Amino acid sequence: MQNNKLCEIAEILKKYNNFIISSHVHLDGDALGSEIGLYLMLRQLGKDVRVINQDKTPDIYQFLPCIEEIACTEKLDEEYFFDIKPKTILIVLDSSNLDRIGKIHIDIKQIDFIVNIDHHPSNTFYGKYNYINPHASSVGEILYGLGKQMGCILNKQMAISLYTAIVTDTGSFRYANTKASTFQIALDLVKLGVNPSRLTDYIYNNNKLSSLKILGEALRKIKIDSSSRISWTIVTRDMLIETKSKDEEIEGIVDKILSLKKVKVSAFFRETKDGYIKVSFRSKGEFNVDQFARMFGGGGHPNAAGCSVKGTIKETTKLIISKLQTELDN
Ligand code: 5GP
Ligand code: MN
């Protein structure tokens, strides 16, 4: 397990010419903003770069620069492999282990090596080179420093991408991962031309009617435990069909239900297309949901984590809520 210095990562990226960038399934603002930010920086340095993800880009992120250049493998058949030039480096962003990138249809044997850049404390150091900084609010914040170390001249397009990463992973500068350095970087990005109000309008004021309907249905089903410390709710495939909403439209429900007075932990259970129950956890203060999610094969950050469980939504909810109650009592 080796954690490299950021300047070492910068030197390696400067030395090589061919890159593939990828990030985790269920793409979020940090994954996409970081991918595009790094894509633009490496392109500015004259490199050959491709961004390949398993999942399709959610509609709300279509405003990001160069978003149409991202390849998605969701609909490719199992046998398909992307062409890989000799001496290609795979850069994996925001992913605590390599399985988190899903199936991106590249033959890993043709890759020279992996560079792993992340801020999850549970990162497994799967790269030949790793830069893991759990104190960084987001991978976007790390890449701001990396860009400078590589000698990039940060421009407005890069700033929009990195700001998106930072604003989404800090819950608009509200979560505990927001530090003075986060604001300092955001200030610089605004000076480079980011319009914070316009940018966050794209992300937060761009809901479809179906998104609010599924939120309404989920809120109608909210439950709290007898001590009012845990709130939870569910979204089933049937609820998605009834409200005509897509999977990507249910981000944020877990944060809404955490807003209840007294509640310390919230859990959100959803049925996925492939028969799993995806669970998201959020907490206020001390309760570490990263540690809790690891008990179920997942992970994340101290106040935001998740896992995927095979089972029915009813069984999974019962199991996880009773385990949460036990952990909160300890
Ligand atoms: P979300 O609940 O928004 O999907 O994820 C919150 C945080 O937990 C993110 O940092 C995400 O990377 C992490 N996370 C979510 N699901 C999983 C999972 O199944 N495994 C791991 N290792 N991390 C997860
Ligand atoms: Mn992140």
CA distances from 22 to 42, 61, 246 (A): 14, 16, 23
Q: What are the pLDDT digits (tens) for 145-189?
A: 999 999 999 999 999 999 999 999 999 999 999 999 999 999 999
Band of residue 78 on the pLDDT scale cut at 50, 70, 90: confident
Mutate to test the pocket of ligand 1, among 94, 95, 137, 280 (most ligand atoms within 8 A of CB): 280
Alpha carbon of 152 to ligand 1 centroid (Å): 31
On whether the CB atoms of residues 41 and 59 are closer than 8 A, the answer is no
Domains of the chain: 6-204 (3.90.1640.10), 209-329 (3.10.310.30)
Summary mean pLDDT of the chain:
96
Summarize the confidence of residues 199-227 as an average pLDDT: 96
First vs last Cα of the chain: how many Å apart? Answer: 32
On whether the CB atoms of residues 98 and 87 are closer than 8 A, the answer is no
Summarize the confidence of residues 17-25 as an average pLDDT: 98
Q: 161: Cβ–Cβ under 8 A, 6 or more apart, which residues?
A: 32, 33, 34, 36, 37, 40, 64, 65, 140
pLDDT score recorded for residue 74: 85
Band of residue 287 on the pLDDT scale cut at 50, 70, 90: very high
- The tokens for 18 are 């061919």
Buried b or exposed e, range 104-133, using 16+ CB within 10 angstroms: bbbeeeebeebbbbbbbbbbbebbbbbbbb
Give the residue whose CA is nearest to atom 12 of ligand 1.
Answer: 300
Give the ligand 1 atom nearest the CA of 251: 3
Alpha carbon of 288 to ligand 2 centroid (Å): 17
Alpha carbon of 319 to ligand 1 centroid (Å): 19
- Which ligand is in closest contact with the Cα of 132? 2
Summarize the confidence of residues 247-252 as an average pLDDT: 92
Summarize the confidence of residues 210-233 as an average pLDDT: 97
Band of residue 330 on the pLDDT scale cut at 50, 70, 90: confident
Using a pLDDT cut of 90, give the percent of the chain over it: 95
Give the residue whose CA is nearest to atom 3 of ligand 1.
Answer: 280
Summarize the confidence of residues 265-292 as an average pLDDT: 96
Summarize the confidence of residues 199-222 as an average pLDDT: 96
pLDDT score recorded for residue 51: 97
Q: Is 301 in the pocket of ligand 1 (CB under 6 A)?
A: yes
Alpha carbon of 289 to ligand 1 centroid (Å): 10
pLDDT at 76 over 90: no
Q: Is 278 in the pocket of ligand 1 (CB under 6 A)?
A: no
Q: In what order do the strands lie in the sheet with 230-235?
A: 223-224, 230-235, 265-271, 276-283, 304-310, 299-301
Using a pLDDT cut of 70, give the percent of the chain over it: 100
pLDDT score recorded for residue 197: 98
Alpha carbon of 82 to ligand 1 centroid (Å): 27
Band of residue 53 on the pLDDT scale cut at 50, 70, 90: very high
Pairwise CA distance, residues 327 & 330, whole Å: 5
Give the residue whose CA is nearest to atom 16 of ligand 1.
Answer: 306
Pairwise CA distance, residues 213 & 137, whole Å: 31
pLDDT at 1 over 90: no
pLDDT score recorded for residue 2: 82
